């Protein structure tokens, strides 16, 4: 139905001297990461660390529109996703929890929720 590159272009490609001057589109990243599907979106994190002009060293957790593949949200995590995200609800507030680790960042779980004014 749809197919999109997932993940920023790796630093090793983006900063490669041999590719200087070429306009490299977003390549996505190699890696094996699990994903979470809800009623409306697909949530999945980048498998690799990048440092780009848009964000400091880290990896993005992204949400794609389930019907079109369009990215509808992204936030920076300190390390790449290392397990599948999952979601749960407490007192009417929905959370997404994701395991991250990679490089020198030891494994941990991070739980996200929408800010109060957006719920």
Provide the mask over 64-83, with x wherever binding to other proteins is found by CB under 8 A and - wherever it is not: ---------------xx-xx
CB atoms within 10 A of CB 4: 13
Tokens read off for 57: 């060293």
Tokens read off for 14: 């983006």
| Binds other proteins (CB under 8 A): choice among 2, 4, 5, 16 | 16
Looking at the Cβ atoms of 23 and 32, the one nearer to other proteins is 32
Q: Is 116 helix (H, G, I), strand (E, B) or coil?
A: helix
Report the C-alpha gap between 94 and 5 in whole angstroms: 27
Q: Segment contacting other proteins (CB under 8 A): 10-18, 65-73, 86-94, 109-117?
A: 10-18
Looking at the Cβ atoms of 11 and 65, the one nearer to other proteins is 11
């Amino acid at each position: 139905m749809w197919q999109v590159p997932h993940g920023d272009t790796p630093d090793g490609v983006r900063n490669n001297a041999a590719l200087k001057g070429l306009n490299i589109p977003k390549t996505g990243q190699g890696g094996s990461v699990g994903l979470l599907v809800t009623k409306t979106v697909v949530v999945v994190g980048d498998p690799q660390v990048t440092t780009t002009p848009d964000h400091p060293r880290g990896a993005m957790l992204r949400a794609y529109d389930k019907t079109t593949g369009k990215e509808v949200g992204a936030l920076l995590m300190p390390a790449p996703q290392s397990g599948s995200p999952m979601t749960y609800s407490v007192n009417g507030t929905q959370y997404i929890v994701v395991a991250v680790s990679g490089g020198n960042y030891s494994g941990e779980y991070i739980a996200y929720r929408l800010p109060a004014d957006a719920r």
